Every structure is written in structure tokens, then in C-alpha cells.
Amino acid sequence: WQQALQLLHKMVHDQVERTTITYNAAVSACGKCGQWRQALQLLREMATDRVRHDAITYSAVVSSFEKRGLWLPALNLLHEMSDLSVDGDSVTYSAAVSA
């Protein structure tokens, strides 16, 4: 996950556009390693950088919460998705229920 973050931040230095896909890859890498705080921070960074987040982004963050049993933050993200008209999928909801 640390290498994923380094590459994501190197993109800025090298003036390479960071996209939803590159952010999702980094969020997913953080989530798979239990780094839920970092995954959430990247989600927030996407908004700051005006990079569109999608169901895949949210699913990765919710999954990172699931790994730690953090059901309340998972539910909060589901509400946020709804407020932003981001449609979840079965992966998103399964991870939230499992948290």
C-alpha cells in the first residue's frame, strides 16, 4: 500500500493526471492491507483534487472498514453515497453488512 501511495504522489511531481482509476487502485491497496484511515483520506483527497469517485471507490473504502469491524463508518459512507447519488453495488452493501 505504501508503494501505491508513493506512485500516486509521484504522479503529481511528474505532472501526470491522477484519475478515478489510479485513485481506486491506491484506495484498494490501502483497504486490502487494513489501512482504512489512509483509504478514507484518499477518498477525501479525490474530492479536493476534483477527481470523480464512484461505486468502486466507495466499495474499497467500505471494505477497508469491514476488515476492522467498523460498521458505523461503513453506514456513514453508504449515506454519503446516497446523498451524492452514487449507486452502490452488491459488493458495497455486502461489505457494509459484514462490518
Question: What's the one-letter identity of residue 14?
Answer: D
Reported as half-sphere exposure (CB side, CA atoms, 13 A), residue 11 has a value of 14
Of residues 8 and 83, which shows the higher confidence score? Answer: 8
Identify whether the C-beta of residue 51 lies closer than 8 Å to the C-beta of residue 22: no
- Tell me the per-residue pLDDT of 58-70, one tens digit each, with 9 for 90 and over: 999 998 998 888 9
Question: Confidence class of residue 85 from pLDDT cuts 50, 70 and 90?
Answer: confident
Question: Confidence class of residue 97 from pLDDT cuts 50, 70 and 90?
Answer: low
- Beta strands, E only, the chain: none
9 closest CA partner among 26, 33, 29, 32: 26
Can you give the pTM of this predicted structure?
Answer: 0.85
* The dihedral sign for the CA sequence 95, 84, 86, 37: negative
- Tell me the per-residue pLDDT of 9-19, one tens digit each, with 9 for 90 and over: 999 999 999 99
